[in-house]
Structure 1
C-alpha cells in the first residue's frame, strides 16, 4: 500500500535534511574574520591577524607570501618555515596566538619586524586539513603596503637625446615608488618646455618639431610625498648651424702702442662648432692666430651668463695702434653651417679697461696762487707708469 505525504510533511523533511547538512558544515574549521590591510614604512613592524574557529586534529594554520616569483610558505602554526634572521634579539618573522574570551576562536598574528621593500605584497592565511586537497582549504588574504620613496629606473629613463631640427620625439622618465609617484618635467634653465608651458606632468613628455631653443637640460622630478623625491636630468641636443652673439658690438681703446683691447663672442651649435677670429683684407678673409699681437682664448663656462651649450671666446689685441681700428669677426663652423658675429674696434682719446683709473687732487694754494682743481690720469702699461697731468691755475 503506497504511502502519501502532505506538502507540509515534505517541506519539513527537506528542512531537516538541509539543517543536518548545514550543521555539519558549521562544524568545519573556518576563517571567521577578514584580514585587514596594513600600510607601513621601511624599518617598522607589520602585523596581520587571521582569526580561525572550530580547529580540530589534523588541521593547522599556514601563512604564505604570494610572491610574484612563486608562493613562499612563511609559517605552519607557530613554526617559521623560512630563513629567520635574529638581530638585536628580534627575529624577522614570528607568529603569536591569542584565544578569544569564549575560547572558540584563535587569532594567529603574523609579525614581521624590520620591514623591507621586498615584504610589500599579498599574504594568505589558510587552514590546512589532512585528507582535503589544498584547493578546498579555507583561506583569506591580506596585504602589506610598504611605502617607498621614488627611485628612477635608469634603463628606461632618457639621459641624452639627440634630435634633428624639425623632428619629433619624446623624453621618458620611468620611476618606481609606493604609492606610484607623480612625474613632473621642467627645464633647468627656466625656459618654457617644448609643450609651450613651464611644467609638464607625466611619464612621457612629447617633443614636436624640434627647434634650436629646445637644446638644454631637462629635469624630471618623481614625487609621491615619501621623501626624498627622485630627480633625473636629460640633456637634449638639437643639431643646428652655429649662432654667434657678441657681448659688445663695438669696443674703444686709446692708441699708444702699449694698451690692450678685448673682444668677446658667445657661440652655440651642435655638433660643437670650431671657432676662429677673422679680419678682412680686401675681399679675402684671414684667420688670426696666436702671436705677440693676438691671443685667442676659450673662457671657462660661466653658468650665470651662458645658456646651455654656449661657449665664450675672447680675442685680445695687444699693443693697440691706429692700424688695429677695424672690424673683427667671430666665426663658428660645424657640419650644418656657419655663424658670424662682428665687433668693431674704434679709437678713443682716453685709456679704456681695468688698467686705467682716475683721481682728483685739490691741494690748498700758496701765498699768491692756488690750484683751482687738478685731474690726474694714470695708465699702467706693464712695468711702465705713464702720468698725464692737466693743471689749471687760478690767479
Structure 2
C-alpha cells in the first residue's frame, strides 16, 4: 500500500507539472500596467513604467510616437538602442517592469511613449502614456499683425497661441481704453467689430497666458481710414490795416489729406500777400495756418480751409474783419512807424493808438 501511495503521488505531481506548464504556455503576453499621463516642466525628470506578464519569450520595446505619427524605437528588452545620455532604462525582474527615465526634459520630448510586446511581424500588444511638457505661451504667426480698414466696415482681429497647457487668449486696448465690443477686456481668439469708427483706431493687445512664465503679447495696429473733419478754433478774427494776421484750421483725417486755402473762390498760394503752413501733430491730425501779410482792404472777408482724401472732403470758414486797433500777436514788434525823428515799434504804436482812442472818447462833446 505504501509503495502504491508513493507511485500515485509522483504520478499526480508529474501530471500537474505537465498541466500547469501547458496552461502557462497557452497564456498570452499582456501589459498589466502603464504609467498615467505625465505633465512636466522643462529641465525636470520623468519616469515611465511598463509592467508585463507572460512576455519572457517576446521582445518588449519602448517607442516614441511624434506629432507626425512617426515611430522612434528607444529600447528593446533591458537595453537602450538610442545614444542619448538623458535617457536611461531599468528592468525589475521581480515585477517584470521596464522603467524609462528621461532627464533634463526638453520641449521636443513631448509626445506619446508606447510600451510594445512584439508577437509577430504584424501583431503586437501596445499601451501608451502621453508626456506633456509645460511651455510658456507664444503667439502664432497666423495671428493678425496690423490692419487698415475704412470707417463703418466690419473688422475681425485674430490671435492664436501655442504652449502647454493651452493658453487663454484675451484682448485689451492701449491705456485700457474701452473696446468696441464693450468693456476693457475681451476673451477669445477672434475680436469681431461689427462697424468700426475712427475713435476705435489705435493699438490693440493680444495676450496669451497659461500660468507658465510671464505670458506672451502682440501689439496690433488698427488704422481706420476716414474722411476729413475740419474745424476752425477761431472763426472770426479782426486786425487793423497794414498788419499781419494768422488764420487757423484743425484737420483730422486718415490717410493724410490735401489741404488748401481759398478766398472768393480762388485757391491761395504762398506769395508776398500770403504764407501757408501745415503742422502734422500725428498721422491723423494736422494744423494748418495762413498768414495774411500786411493786410490790405481787399484781403478782408471770408477764408475757407479745405481738406480732401480718397474718402471725402470737408471745409471750415474763418472771417477776417477790420479793426482800428492792431491785434497783438501777431502784430507785436512787427513794424516800426516814424513820426518826425522818433521811431516807435508796433507794440508802442498799439499803446499810443489805444490812448488816443480813449482820449477822443472822453473829450468828444457827443459822449
- What is the TM-score normalised by the length of structure 2? 0.70
Provide the residue aligned with 2:138 in structure 1: 151
Aligned to 2:60: 61
Gaps of 5+ in 1: 1-15, 85-90, 302-308, 357-378, 391-395
Work out the CA distance in 2 between the residues paired with 1:291 and 1:201. 60
Following TM superposition, by how much is the alpha carbon of 1:35 offset from its aligned partner in structure 2, in angstroms?
A: 0.4
Q: Distance in 2 between the 1:26 and 1:95 partners?
A: 33
Q: Say yes or no: does 1:331 pair with 2:331.
A: no
Supply the distance in 1 between the matched residues of 2:238 and 2:20 (Cα, whole angstroms).
Answer: 114
In structure 2, what is the equivalent of residue 287 of structure 1?
268
The answer to which of 207-216 and 332-341 deviates more is 207-216
Aligned positions of 1:312-351 closer than 5 A: 312-315=286-289, 317=291, 321=295, 328-343=303-318, 351=328
Instruction: Check whether the contact 1:252–1:352 (CA below 8 A) recurs between aligned residues.
Output: no
Q: Is 177-186 or 47-56 further displaced after alignment? A: 47-56
Match of 1:105, SS?
coil
Aligned counterparts, 1:31-110, within 5 A: 31-52=31-52, 56=56, 58-69=57-68, 70-82=70-82, 84=84, 91-92=85-86, 94-97=87-90, 99=92, 104-110=94-100
Query: Is the partner of 2:34 in helix, strand or coil?
Result: coil
1:234 aligns to 2:220 (yes or no): yes
SS across alignment from 1:126: strand
Q: Mean alpha-carbon deviation: is it higher for 342-351 or for 185-194?
A: 342-351
1:244 paired to 2:223? no
In the superposition, relative to structure 1, how do residues 140 and 388 fare at CA in structure 2: closer, same or farther (>3 Å)?
A: same
Residue aligning to 2:4: none
State the alpha-carbon separation in 2 of the partners of residues 290 and 109 from structure 1: 91
Q: Using a 3 Å threshold, how does the CA distance of structure 1 residues 160 and 21 change in structure 2: closer, same or farther?
A: farther
1:135 aligns with 2:123: yes
**Pairing partner for 2:104 from 87, 110, 114:** 114
Q: Which is higher, the Rg of structure 1 or of structure 2?
A: 2
Could you tell me which residue of structure 2 aligns to residue 274 of structure 1?
258
Give the structure with the larger helix fraction: 2
Say which of 126, 134, 152 aligns to 2:116: 126
| Aligned counterparts of 1:74 and 1:257: Cα–Cα separation in 2 | 96
Contiguous gaps of at least 5 residues in structure 2: 1-15, 336-343, 352-367
User: What's the CA shift for 1:185?
Assistant: 1.8
CA distance 1:104–1:285, change in 2 (3 Å):
same
Native 8 Å contact 2:256 2:284 kept in 1: no
Aligned length: 323
Tell me by how many angstroms 1:343 deviates: 4.9
RMSD of aligned residue pairs (Cα, Å): 4.1
Task: Kindly indicate whether the alpha-carbon contact (under 8 Å) linking 2:149 and 2:224 is maintained by their aligned counterparts in 1.
Answer: yes
